[in-house]
Amino acid sequence: MHTSLLRIAVLAFIAALAGSAYADQGQEEGQKMFGKYCSACHGMSATGRGPAAEAMDPRPADLTRIAARRGGEFPEAKILAIIDGREPVRAHGAKQMPVWGEIFRGEMDGAAGEATARGTAWLIIRYLKTVQVPAE
């Protein structure tokens, strides 16, 4: 009886460790993806000052202030839609933001492509959540 309880506790502990290792890995992966796909415009620090930003109008958004701009709330689903292109960044005007949903799916069609595109966008969103600054 006691041994099985102990075993459960040990297993839970191992699962928790594995879970946090996975979360760290996810964040690192998200940061890598961000560097690859987003930093040219939004900057490596996500503040909107990438090498291509100078020449752009409108300027790339400061992505450390996604939540600050929205009263401290980070609307994951909406940001996902902005990234994959289902929701335009602005109601009017030229769309400077690439439609990542198309790019992330690579050569894959249908559901597999959709899942891959979502997975990449989620990794980036999880990373962006870790770099949010508080509202002033």
Does residue 80 bind ligand HEC (CB under 6 A)?
no
Query: Is 62:47 a contact under the CB 8 Å cutoff?
Result: yes
Q: What are phi and psi of 73, to 5 degrees?
A: -100, 135
| 3 vs 80 by CB, closer to ligand HEC | 80
| 40 vs 44 by CB, closer to ligand HEC | 40
Among 61, 68, 81, 131, binds ligand HEC (CB under 6 A): 61
Does residue 60 bind ligand HEC (CB under 6 A)?
yes
**Amino acid type, 64:** T
Provide, for the chain, the percentages of residues in helix, strand and coil under a 3-state DSSP scheme, each rounded to the nearest 5: 60, 0, 40
Contacts of residue 52, defined as CB under 8 A and 6 or more positions apart, other chains included, come to 40, 41, 60
Among 6, 9, 56, 135, binds ligand HEC (CB under 6 A): 56
Residues forming contacts to ligand HEC in the complex (CB under 6 A) are 37-38, 40-42, 52, 56, 58, 60-61, 63, 66, 69, 79, 82-83, 89-90, 96-98, 100, 124
